[in-house]
Amino acid sequence: MFLGSEDATAPLPAARPRTAATRAARTGSTPTSRAGSAAHQTGGASDTRAGATATRAGATADARTAATSTRTGTTATREAASVDARTAASDTRTGATQIRAGGAPARTGVSPAVRASSSSRRPGRTSGAAASSGALAARRTAPVTPSAGVVAQGSAARFAERARAHRRLTQRRILIAAGAVVAVVGVAWLLFFSPVLALDATQVEVSGADSVVAMDQVQAVVDSRDGVPLPRVDTSALRSELLEVPGVRDATVTRQWPHGLSVALVAREPVAAVPEDADVVQSAEGTPAGAGFALVDEEGVQVGRADAPPEGLPVVAVPVGEERVLSAVLGVLEQLPPDLLAQVGEVAATTQDSVNFTLRDGATVEWGSDQESALKAAVLGALRAAPETAGAARYDVSAPTMPVVG
């Protein structure tokens, strides 16, 4: 048995019942106080919710009021701007009219009716909107004196600027036109009057000259243009002068920049010797006349003269002054083959259709006109080549399809 066991085995004191009064004593509160506290808490929560609701309602009302005030202010601003724009346009038209009429620009303010109408349309729900509307109304209703006019002065300034711009544009156009005229005149002087492109006679190239061409006369024609600006050299007139030079049948003149010319000549080749006393030769200027023979080409133009007929050229005998007969004879000689032409010694004709010639071996040929000369030349060659007719003294080929020999 342990010590103190009697205390352990002693019975525990009986538990006392807990009552409301006991609980109240421990907690310090009674049911009545708790009910009051709950009621108080409930009332506080209700007051809080009511305050929050009132706050939200007030905020909503304030927001709506602010939005309404903003819209009202915006509307008032737009209306004020519209009125100002109309007033400015009216002032501008008035100023422009006065400027055109020659009077001083007048400044006008906004009419009382417009200010009253504008003021009546601007609600003032808030103090800010009312202040803005009042400021706009004060600005619009302020009297405008002529010395402070901005619109009319702006219009006058714009008109003056336009006038200055027009004057500047006119001056620029005049300067451009004057510059263009000066440039054209300068180029014209450089090309047609200055020595920059002057012809130098030493730089003229002449080709195609033959022994029958009078080169001294060709050089004289070229020297007459020495020093003339190349653009002013008339190549057509120069060619015409060269064609008059004895022995020149054709000429071509081209410019060789910057100072030269190229002259290509076609010399006349003599095909016959005509007695000068026949008076049928187109004598070139400067060709002496006498009792000798004129050397002519196929066109009948004299390209030279000789006291005796040159060897290899046939002598042509035609009536005096009959240039058409001479032309017919020269036409026949031009169509003869070279080997047959070399055998012709003399040619005679009394008319254009009675051409006949004597060969160097003494045989005579009746040729007739210059028609079918190629066929006649072929028939004559065949007859002279045939053994039976090779030595005949006379050949008549005036009708080439029926030649006559003997």
Model pLDDT for residues 323-365, shown as the tens digit of each residue: 888 888 999 998 999 999 999 999 999 999 999 999 999 999 9
pLDDT at 12: 44
If you average pLDDT over every residue of the chain, what do you get?
A: 73
How many residues can be counted in the chain?
406
pLDDT for residue 33 is more than 90: no
Same domain, 276 and 399: yes
pLDDT at 312: 85
SS3 call for 103 = coil
- 326 within domain boundaries: yes
Phi, psi of 94 (to 5 degrees): -65, -45
Same domain, 282 and 233: no
Q: Which of 7-11, 48-52, 67-71, 240-244 has the lowest mean pLDDT?
A: 7-11
- 136 within domain boundaries: no
Q: Which of 5-19, 145-159, 225-239, 279-293 has the lowest mean pLDDT?
A: 5-19
**What span, in angstroms and rounded, lies between the C-alpha atoms of 187 and 175?**
18
* Interval 73-82 mean pLDDT: 55
**What span, in angstroms and rounded, lies between the C-alpha atoms of 253 and 263?**
5
- Structural domain for 372, as ranges: 272-405
**What span, in angstroms and rounded, lies between the C-alpha atoms of 406 and 402?**
13
pTM: 0.47
Q: Which of 92-101, 176-185, 287-296 has the lowest mean pLDDT?
A: 92-101
Same domain, 221 and 328: no
**In the chain, % of residues over pLDDT 90:** 35
Question: In terms of C-beta distances under 8 Å and separation of at least 24 residues, what long-range contacts does 172-177 make, across chains too?
Answer: none
| Cβ contacts of 280 within 8 Å, gap of 6 or more | 274, 300, 318, 320, 321, 322, 323, 325, 326
Contact 336, 344 (CB under 8 A): yes
**What span, in angstroms and rounded, lies between the C-alpha atoms of 170 and 311?**
83
Give the end of a domain, one of 217, 236, 267: 267
* Interval 56-79 mean pLDDT: 54
pLDDT at 298: 83
Categorize the per-residue pLDDT at 7 as very low, low, confident or very high, splitting at 50, 70 and 90. Answer: very low
**In the chain, % of residues over pLDDT 70:** 59
b/e per residue 91-104 (b: at least 16 CB within 10 A): beebbbebeeeeee
CA gyration radius, the chain = 67
pLDDT for residue 223 is more than 50: yes
Q: Which amino acid is at 165?
A: A
Q: At 377, which CATH number?
A: 3.40.50.10960
Categorize the per-residue pLDDT at 82 as very low, low, confident or very high, splitting at 50, 70 and 90. Answer: low
- 375 within domain boundaries: yes
pLDDT at 200: 93
Contact 362, 379 (CB under 8 A): no
For residue 258, cis peptide bond before it (omega within 30 degrees of 0) = yes
pLDDT at 91: 55
Tokens standing for residue 61: 């009302």
Give the end of a domain, one of 267, 291, 324: 267
pLDDT at 269: 86
Tally of CA atoms within 13 A in the half-sphere of 393 that contains its CB: 0
Alpha helices in 318-362 (DSSP H): 323-335, 338-341
pLDDT for residue 92 is more than 50: yes
Task: Report how many domains make up the chain.
Answer: 2
* Interval 269-296 mean pLDDT: 71
Same domain, 302 and 250: no
**What span, in angstroms and rounded, lies between the C-alpha atoms of 388 and 384?**
9
pLDDT for residue 290 is more than 70: no
- 390 within domain boundaries: yes
Alpha helices in 109-214 (DSSP H): 112-120, 127-141, 151-192
* Interval 389-393 mean pLDDT: 89
pLDDT at 213: 85
Same domain, 394 and 295: yes
* Interval 284-312 mean pLDDT: 76
Same domain, 235 and 285: no
Categorize the per-residue pLDDT at 139 as very low, low, confident or very high, splitting at 50, 70 and 90. Answer: low
Q: At 252, which CATH number?
A: 3.10.20.310
For the chain, what is the total number of helices (H) and then of strands (E)?
11, 12
**What span, in angstroms and rounded, lies between the C-alpha atoms of 239 and 245?**
10
pLDDT for residue 84 is more than 90: no
Q: Which range scores top for mean pLDDT: 44-53, 129-138, 183-192, 313-322?
A: 183-192
Higher pLDDT, 104 or 369: 369
Give the tens place of pLDDT for each residue, 168-211: 999 999 999 999 999 999 888 888 888 889 999 899 999 988 77
| Cβ contacts of 364 within 8 Å, gap of 6 or more | 356, 357, 358, 393, 394, 395
pLDDT for residue 160 is more than 50: yes
pLDDT at 89: 55
Phi, psi of 14 (to 5 degrees): -70, 140
- 22 within domain boundaries: no
Which of 203, 303, 304 shows the shortest CA–CA distance to 263? 203
pLDDT for residue 88 is more than 80: no
pLDDT at 121: 46
Q: Which of 138-142, 168-172, 190-194, 257-261 has the lowest mean pLDDT?
A: 138-142
pLDDT at 101: 46
